[in-house]
Structure 1
Amino acid sequence: MSPSPVSRPGRALAGLTAVAACSAGLLAAPAPASAAPDPARAPAAGTYPNLAPRPPMGWNNWSYYMCDINEKTVLDNARALVRTGLAGKGYRTVTIDDCWMGRARGSRGELVADPVKFPHGMAYLGRQLHRMGLKFGIYEDVGTLTCEKFPGSLGHFQEDAAQFAEWKVDYVKADGCNVPVAPGHTKEETYRDLYGQMSRALRDTGRPITFSVSAPAYFQFDGDTVWHQVIGWSAEVGNLWRGGRDVALQQSTPAAKWSSIVYNFRYNAKLSGLQKPGRWNDPDFLLAGDTGLTREEIQSQMSLWAMMAAPLISSTDVTGLSGQARSVLGNKNVIAVDQDALGVQGHLVQQDDGSAVLAKPLRNGDTAIALFNSGATTRTLSVTTAAAGLPQAGSYRLHELVTGRRTRSGGDIVARDVPPHSTVLYRVTPG
């Protein structure tokens, strides 16, 4: 029987509706022996070092540029992160996504950078990023091929990890396309084994490499029990994990982008019980920039991602970033909610078809509260202090983190006349 490789959700139109098995004909060869799960190599709890005590922040090319990427584009965006002050606010990890390699490995089985796109190679790119005070992230896949059909790491985990360490890579994002499931083994067993192998290989290098796991995204539609099980072991083998569908691409319409933001928010908000400090649910990239979205929409994504303690990874053209987008991405008070040392993902306290309210405890005893109007009409939103988990107090000081406005409340937390697609984000202090 031919193996059944799996395609990355969101990378093709079909991926916007479901995570489905690719046709068996994609891979002509049978599954390599290393694809079969080995219980002796199952990941052990807590073995991957805690290299992301706060949600990672940075930039990734995929959503905006996809495969239209090269050395100049990456370095220009990196310089723009520094020039705009975003790097100083935490956006320091620059990750090169799919399509950075040549179509075949080198004569010694090594990964080779595309010589046209990256003429100086990946070690050079890493050196340039490090000289700017930035971190170097790179993409690979635990299958036979990446999603765009470049060489995957299956059968080469140790060699690839050693190569990344030699290049001084700081962050690895591992996708799960083209994973052959061997007869007699389940899809979940196979993914667990392969991500476990990559995890051990990265750890064995001795270099601190933050590990982003994409496995859960391939199980979002396999039922919550299996999906949550995969998230559970992803937290053992890595530092963060992609939970579900990709956010929309730059080529998508503004309406499709907004729809994908709301979709990713709604699935990720339900996963708060599976996150823990230092191990992060990742609902995918921030789209603030030249995307056709409104100020209210990009601000909502930023505020909601901060409430969910999500990685803040921008995927846009930073070199042409508008002042409006720069203001949204660089809001230090919103970033502080995301990066809060308590490391708790905010939880839903109430919702309906057109709104949601989240509450997030903060390290200093404050509580962040977000009131999100996802509907098409202006609304007044409110939540009781009891529902939001606030301690009893005679009054509460409210700091609206986008406008900077400060008010007081003697009872319910209220956001009046919230425009469509907007979020009001309060930092609430009792007394």
Structure 2
Amino acid sequence: MSHPSVSRIGRTLAGLTAVTACSAGLLSATAPASAAPSPAPGARYESGYPNLAPTPPMGWNNWSYYQCGGLNEQVVLDNARALVRSGLAHRGYRTVTIDDCWMAKQRGPQGELVADTAKFPHGMAHVGQELHKMGLKFGIYEDVGTLTCGKYPGSLGHFEQDAKLFASWGVDYLKADGCNVPIPKGQTKEQAYRALYTQQSRALRATGRPITFSISAPAYFQFSGDALWHRVIKWSAELGNLWRGGADIAVQQSTPAAKWASISGNFRYNANLAELQRPGRWNDPDFLLVGDSGLSRDEMQSQMSLWAVMAAPLISSTDLGRLSPQAQSILGNREVIAVDQDPLGVQGHIVQQDGDAAVLSKPLRNGDRAIALFNGGSTARTLSIRAAAAGLPAADSYRLRDLVTGRNGRTARTLIARNVPPHATVLYRVRAER
């Protein structure tokens, strides 16, 4: 008996309008009334999937920039070399993930996945070996349904076989999508997804190889009501290390305006999920578009700063060989990366919002706070927040460091960012001084 399939959210721009409309009321969704307490920094999980991502994953994925048509072995390895050559790998961008469309349309004679030899003439094990020689990690894509989103073989019915194959290829990271998931009679959509992702999670663990597991299940429940959406996120956090929460980020062919709407929309939904994240279990609002994107410097910097304060995975999707000095400076900013990778592992919370503007506060392990003041509007404005409202302790004064400009300052009680341009974000690291 055939069952209806579920299409991937956001594979085309058709989903962008809905995302933007949903986000028009800034951060309108509600967080759950209570959440499980966060474990101590560096704690090991006694149940569920191994804690293989103590800080948010960083790296590169081909999807947003190249999609299926531009994917091949040379593109992947050229971008990997650019990560190393540019110094971005040294800054933490080390996982190179090959997204959909890498495989042949049919499995091999033993039911095994087979690489598309026109795209990957030397095979996937070779790609993994080359990445490992560069000091990088190898990520790959599959789907828990019957087919991937691009209509290539899915892992349903082959979870153990595929996981063993990935381990034999030296795979370090699996992104498992949720297209074409059949819903058996008598089961709910959630039950079907949970069963398949549970099988994938167990199969990865059984290989004995540490494979970071990225789950896409929550993205397929984004518009199913907050209670169900949040519940899917909670069990995703038991089965893997990170999860895609909602719609895909825009692709390279999108207009700059559509790209900004996508960044803004993904920020708005993800910022509201902070109570569902915990150290080692990460909300993923999708790829960084910093690069050859048509976005302004302020827009690119905003995405980087907002993703960092949300403790989001920093996964670039652009042509790294064509990075402008401006884009490379944004991606490689050590101090912004340090906010994202802070070992305390807490996602920044919204502490103030006013129309299209929002202020987020993220506690850091050494007692500092990262404070992001985001102007999502179309005109410049001055943004401010009192230190107490930002979660800072009482103090005689506060030392501020602008992590983008490198300027230092002090304030007695109010943090101010003057004349913040449209779509720009000011990111301060703040320390109380007594």
Question: Taking structure 1 as the reference length, what is the TM-score of the superposition?
Answer: 0.93
Matches within 5 A, 1:33-52: 46-52=47-53
Please state if 1:62 is matched with 2:41.
no
Distance 1:145 1:160 in 2: 14
Distance 1:394 1:11 in 2: 51
Matching residue of 1:308? 310
Matching residue of 1:90? 92
Matching residue of 2:241? 239
Matching residue of 1:41? none
Matching residue of 1:410? 412
Q: How many residues align?
A: 407
Question: 1:4 Cα shift?
Answer: 1.4
Q: SS where residue 7 of structure 1 aligns?
A: coil
Deviations 1:292-322 (A, max 9, x none): 0000000000000000000000000001111
Distance 1:85 1:94 in 2: 15
Please state if 1:341 is matched with 2:374.
no
Question: 1:17 Cα shift?
Answer: 5.0
Structure 2 letter corresponding to 1:292: G
Distance 1:354 1:201 in 2: 44
Please state if 1:7 is matched with 2:7.
yes
Distance 2:271 2:13 in 1: 24
Task: Give the 3 Å change call, closer, same or farther, for CA 110–2 of structure 1 in structure 2.
Answer: closer
Matching residue of 2:136? 134
Structure 1 letter corresponding to 2:177: D
Distance 1:200 1:128 in 2: 28
Question: 1:353 Cα shift?
Answer: 2.2
Matching residue of 2:22? none
Distance 2:309 2:300 in 1: 14
Distance 1:171 1:285 in 2: 16
Distance 2:48 2:385 in 1: 41
CA RMSD between the two structures: 1.1
Structure 1 letter corresponding to 2:169: W
Q: More deviation in 5-14 or 80-89?
A: 5-14
Please state if 1:212 is matched with 2:247.
no
Percentage of matched positions with identical amino acids: 73
Structure 2 letter corresponding to 1:51: L
Matching residue of 2:26? none
Structure 2 letter corresponding to 1:141: D
Distance 1:214 1:45 in 2: 23
Matching residue of 1:114? 116
Structure 1 runs not aligned, ≥5 long: 20-43
Deviations 1:368-392 (A, max 9, x none): 0000001111100001111111000
Matching residue of 2:399? 397
Q: SS where residue 319 of structure 1 aligns?
A: helix
Deviations 1:58-95 (A, max 9, x none): 00000000012000000000000000000000000000
Q: SS where residue 90 of structure 2 aligns?
A: helix
Matches within 5 A, 1:201-350: 201-350=203-352
Structure 1 letter corresponding to 2:315: I
Distance 2:423 2:324 in 1: 20
Please state if 1:16 is matched with 2:13.
no
Structure 1 letter corresponding to 2:118: V
Question: 1:14 Cα shift?
Answer: 3.4
Question: 1:352 Cα shift?
Answer: 2.3
Question: 1:45 Cα shift?
Answer: 8.1
Q: Check conservation: 1:399, 1:428, Cα contact below 8 A.
A: yes
Matching residue of 1:40? none
Q: SS where residue 350 of structure 1 aligns?
A: strand
Q: SS where residue 89 of structure 1 aligns?
A: coil
Q: Check conservation: 2:16, 2:258, Cα contact below 8 A.
A: no
Matching residue of 1:423? 425
Q: Check conservation: 1:45, 1:236, Cα contact below 8 A.
A: no
Structure 1 letter corresponding to 2:171: V
Matching residue of 2:54? 53
Deviations 1:102-159 (A, max 9, x none): 0000010000000100000000000000000000000000000000000000000000
Task: Give the 3 Å change call, closer, same or farther, for CA 211–311 of structure 1 in structure 2.
Answer: same
Q: Check conservation: 2:278, 2:346, Cα contact below 8 A.
A: yes
Q: Check conservation: 2:13, 2:250, Cα contact below 8 A.
A: no
Q: Check conservation: 1:18, 1:221, Cα contact below 8 A.
A: no
Distance 2:91 2:410 in 1: 29
Task: Give the 3 Å change call, closer, same or farther, for CA 191–18 of structure 1 in structure 2.
Answer: farther
Distance 2:381 2:319 in 1: 33
Structure 2 letter corresponding to 1:411: R
Distance 2:207 2:237 in 1: 20
Question: 1:101 Cα shift?
Answer: 0.2
Distance 1:60 1:293 in 2: 19
Distance 2:102 2:18 in 1: 27
Q: SS where residue 82 of structure 1 aligns?
A: helix
Q: Check conservation: 1:9, 1:18, Cα contact below 8 A.
A: no
Deviations 1:274-305 (A, max 9, x none): 00000000000000000000000000000000
Q: Check conservation: 1:8, 1:15, Cα contact below 8 A.
A: no
Distance 2:14 2:203 in 1: 33
Structure 2 runs not aligned, ≥5 long: 20-44
Structure 1 letter corresponding to 2:162: D
Question: 1:18 Cα shift?
Answer: 5.7
Please state if 1:125 is matched with 2:134.
no
Moved over 3 A (4+): 13-19
Structure 2 letter corresponding to 1:371: L
Question: 1:15 Cα shift?
Answer: 3.4
Deviations 1:387-428 (A, max 9, x none): 111000000000000000000000111101101110000000
Task: Find the partner of 2:371 among 365, 369, 372.
Answer: 369
